[in-house]
């Protein structure tokens, strides 16, 4: 994080930088140019030698993500999106999957560290099962969203996220031709707590399934 912030201070001295460690010192996230960084998303995986973690960085303008990069060091996969310019994975144009329904879907999930909310999410998934092909818990929201944006997952669902977890993924999913909404069906923002993102059909169906159920 320190290395990334030092580069940004030199290249973009007028831009502010938001990370988990600097959150308290960066007010008004919806104002001006703002870089949002997570140097290691999937820290628990990283600490245990599980190769599912990523470096995540996004650029926001007035609170709206306009550029997002997720880099998976072990596989060297690079997911990059810029508003209006599409999604690129390792330099090749990428899109959300063509899955039309939840029944067709490989679903990624994140449970996070709020154990009460996670328990509710597990109950929700138990009600859903076996209404999807498979459910995978990545342990990295950044990769979960990048995978949903590029069609590796058909959708990704998480009940509680921070800006540095999802800012890059929001623009990646949209530029990949998908949708990213909050748990009420509104367009997701960096201020949202949870999200449903990926191919339009599975996302819409999961939203309708989850409405009225307790998973917040």
Position 25 pLDDT exceeds 90: no
pLDDT at 112: 84
Cβ neighbours of residue 184 closer than 8 Å, sequence gap 6 or more = none
What does the pLDDT read at residue 104? 94
Do β-strands 86-89 and 77-82 pair in parallel, antiparallel, or remain unpaired?
Answer: antiparallel
CA 165 to chain centre: 6
Residue 22's pLDDT band (boundaries 50, 70, 90)?
confident
d(CA 83, CA 174): 8
Q: What is the pLDDT of residue 117?
A: 87
CA distance 155 to 206: 9
Q: How confident is the model over 29-49, as pLDDT tens digits?
A: 888 999 999 999 999 999 999
For the cut 80, the answer to whether the pLDDT of residue 21 exceeds it is no
**pTM, whole model, 2 decimals?**
0.94
Does pLDDT of 212 surpass 80? no
Q: Are strands 77-82 and 33-41 parallel, antiparallel or unpaired?
A: unpaired
Is the pLDDT at 216 greater than 70? The verdict is no
Cα distance between residue 43 and residue 100, in whole Å:
33
Q: Is residue 152 scored above 90 in pLDDT?
A: yes
Q: Which of 149, 139, 203 is nearest to 173 (CA)?
A: 149
What pLDDT score was predicted for residue 113? 85
pLDDT at 107: 97
Higher-pLDDT residue of 121, 97? 97
Give the pLDDT score at 30. Answer: 86
Which one, of 54, 57, 82, lies nearest residue 69 by Cα?
57
> For 110-133, what is each residue's pLDDT tens digit?
998 888 888 998 999 999 999 999
- Residue range 60-87: mean pLDDT, rounded: 97
According to the model, what pLDDT value does residue 136 have? 95
The percent of residues in the chain predicted with pLDDT above 70, rounded, is 97
Give the mean pLDDT of the chain. Answer: 93
Evaluate the omega torsion of the peptide bond into residue 142 and state whether it is cis, within 30 degrees of 0: no
Cβ neighbors of 177 (< 8 A, separation 6 or more) are: 87, 95, 96
Distance, CA of 144 to CA of 137 (rounded, Å): 8
CA 60 to CA 75: how far, in whole Å? 27
Which of 140, 134, 157 lies closest to 203, judged by CA?
A: 157
For 158-197, write each residue's pLDDT tens digit: 999 999 999 999 999 999 999 999 999 999 999 998 899 9
Percent residues over pLDDT 90 in the chain: 82
DSSP symbol at 207: H
């Amino acid at each position: 994080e320190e290395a990334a912030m030092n580069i940004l201070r030199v290249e973009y001295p007028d831009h502010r930088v938001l990370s988990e460690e600097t959150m308290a010192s960066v007010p008004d996230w919806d104002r001006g140019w703002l870089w949002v960084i997570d140097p290691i998303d999937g820290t628990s995986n990283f600490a245990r030698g599980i190769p599912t973690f990523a470096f995540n960085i996004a650029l926001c303008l007035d609170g709206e993500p306009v550029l997002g990069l997720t880099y998976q060091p072990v596989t060297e996969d690079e997911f990059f999106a810029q508003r209006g310019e599409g999604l690129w994975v390792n330099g090749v144009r990428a899109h959300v999957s063509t899955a039309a329904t939840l029944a067709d879907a490989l679903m990624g999930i994140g449970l996070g560290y709020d154990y009460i909310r996670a328990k509710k999410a597990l109950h929700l998934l138990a009600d859903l099962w076996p209404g999807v092909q498979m459910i995978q818990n990545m342990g990295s929201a950044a990769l979960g969203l990048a995978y949903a944006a590029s069609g590796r997952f058909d959708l990704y669902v998480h009940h509680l996220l921070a800006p540095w977890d999802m800012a890059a993924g929001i623009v990646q999913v949209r530029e990949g031709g998908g949708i990213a909404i909050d748990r009420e069906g509104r367009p997701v923002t960096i201020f949202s707590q949870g999200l449903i993102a990926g191919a339009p059909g599975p996302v819409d169906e999961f939203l309708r399934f989850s409405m009225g159920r307790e998973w917040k």
